[in-house]
């Protein structure tokens, strides 16, 4: 039989792990409205969030805490009908000119046309790493899971547990990676008709407003950022830091099959292949093994 001391130690370790890697899903406890307060509302005992856009304003929320490594997930139901010119954004970012950022942006379109999922990653203030996909389902009919997972080895974007994109850590080769700055979680709904739909050719039809995006089940199973000390603490390989497990260092063979299915059938833009835009200068990470 284990001793009382051993049991107490085990309970303490479990408590530390839970405290370190999970943030309560209740929206008012974990996030606050930082733009368009009269256009945002919490419901369902704090489990649900509604963002609204009309001609007067959009709206946004962000997390009270910053994180470094782990999984950030949200269930989202996008703006239905004619959503051209609107953008629903869901991302993590630090602050400042040298900020890190990992993006999901959903570009609205005219009724009957598919949504475009716009993904990007900034490291040390440098972005322009866009990849875009059509969705293989109607994202306005029901909630779907969108997850950002990142650890010291890679960043992976998931939709309903299917990986759609990977950005690996090649810092040893001089390619910056988001591993030294805490990032807060953001969600917003805003007017982007100067670029979002067909490069800005299709403008918002305000007769269709108000536009509403719905969010629920926010989960942050992630390492809480407590300043520079977290750079090493969150990257240390330990049972508490589950994201450092070897199983999360690279996609499995089945995940690779899922990734290839999405990219072969639904990918519509890849910055690595846009040689005209890049003046023939291929970004160094594009020449590395990406998956």
Q: For the chain, count helices (H), then strands (E).
A: 4, 14
Q: Which of 73, 105, 154, 285 is catalytic?
A: 105
**DSSP letter, residue 123:** B
Using pLDDT thresholds of 50, 70 and 90, give the confidence band for residue 278. confident
Residue 5 lies in a domain: no
Is residue 36 a part of any domain in this protein?
A: yes
What is the model's pLDDT at position 22? 54
Cα(19)–Cα(258) distance, integer angstroms: 32
d(CA 53, CA 86): 8
Which residue shows structure tokens 């800005």? 200
> How high is the pLDDT of residue 23?
56
Percent over 90 (pLDDT), the chain: 76
In a domain, 246, yes or no: yes
Q: Is residue 291 part of a domain?
A: no
Can you tell me the mean pLDDT for 39-62? 90
Q: Is the pLDDT of residue 195 over 70?
A: yes
Q: Is 151 inside any structural domain?
A: yes
For residues 110, 216, 166 and 269, what is the CA-based torsion angle, rounded to 10 degrees? 0
3-state secondary structure of 285: helix
Question: Higher pLDDT residue, 17 or 71?
Answer: 71
Residue-averaged pLDDT of the chain: 89
What one-character-per-residue DSSP string does 228-275 give? Answer: THHHHHTTS-SSS-GGGSGGGSS--HHHHHHHHHHHHHHEEEEGGG-T
Could you check whether the bond before residue 110 is cis, i.e. omega within 30 degrees of 0? no
pLDDT of amino acid 4:
45
The boundaries of the domain holding residue 225 are 23-285
Express each pLDDT in 171-182 by its tens digit: 999 999 999 999
Burial 200-230 (b: 16+ CB within 10 A, else e): eebebbeebbebbbbbbebbbbbbbbeeeeb
Task: Express each pLDDT in 8-50 by its tens digit.
Answer: 333 333 333 334 455 556 788 999 999 998 888 888 777 899 9
88: domain CATH number? 2.60.120.200
Q: Which of 147, 167, 141, 149 is nearest to 159 (CA)?
A: 147
- Decide if 18 is inside a domain: no
Question: What's the domain count of the chain?
Answer: 1
Domain membership flag for residue 113: yes
Two structure tokens written together for 208? 């269709």
- Is-catalytic flag, 105? yes
- Counting Cβ atoms within 10 Å, is residue 124 exposed (0-12), middle (13-18) or buried (19+)? middle
- pLDDT at 176 (0 to 100): 97
Catalytic-residue membership of 101: yes
The residue from 24, 47, 101, 130 that is catalytic is 101
Asked if residue 263 is part of any domain, the answer here is yes
pLDDT score for 24: 53
Q: Which of 18-27, 97-106, 140-149 shows the lowest per-residue confidence on average (mean pLDDT)?
A: 18-27
Q: Which uninterrupted H or E stretch holds 60?
A: strand 59-77
Residue 196: the pLDDT is: 72
């Amino acid at each position: 039989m284990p001793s009382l001391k051993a049991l107490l130690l085990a309970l303490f370790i479990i408590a530390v792990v839970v405290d370190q890697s999970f943030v309560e899903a209740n929206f008012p406890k974990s996030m606050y409205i930082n733009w368009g307060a009269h256009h945002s509302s919490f419901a369902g005992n704090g489990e649900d969030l509604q963002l609204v856009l009309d001609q007067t304003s959009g709206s946004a929320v962000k997390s009270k805490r910053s994180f470094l490594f782990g999984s950030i997930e949200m269930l989202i139901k996008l703006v239905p009908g004619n959503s051209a010119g609107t953008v629903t954004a869901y991302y993590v970012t630090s602050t400042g000119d040298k900020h890190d950022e990992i993006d999901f942006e959903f570009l609205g379109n005219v009724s009957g046309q598919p949504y475009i999922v716009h993904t990007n990653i900034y490291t040390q203030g440098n972005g322009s790493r866009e990849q875009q996909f059509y969705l293989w389902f109607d994202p306005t009919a029901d909630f779907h899971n969108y997850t950002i997972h990142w650890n010291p080895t890679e960043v992976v974007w998931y939709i309903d547990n299917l990986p759609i994109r990977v950005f690996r850590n090649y810092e040893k080769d001089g390619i910056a990676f988001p591993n030294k700055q805490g990032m807060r979680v953001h969600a917003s709904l805003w007017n982007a008709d100067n670029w979002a739909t067909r490069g800005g050719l299709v403008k918002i039809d305000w007769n269709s407003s108000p536009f509403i995006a719905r969010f629920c089940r926010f989960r942050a199973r992630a390492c809480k950022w407590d300043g520079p000390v977290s750079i090493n603490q969150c990257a240390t390989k330990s049972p508490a830091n589950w994201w450092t497990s070897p199983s999360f260092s690279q996609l499995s063979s089945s995940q690779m099959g899922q990734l290839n299915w999405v990219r072969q059938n639904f990918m519509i833009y890849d910055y690595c292949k846009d040689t005209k835009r890049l003046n023939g200068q291929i970004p160094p990470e594009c020449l590395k093994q990406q998956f």
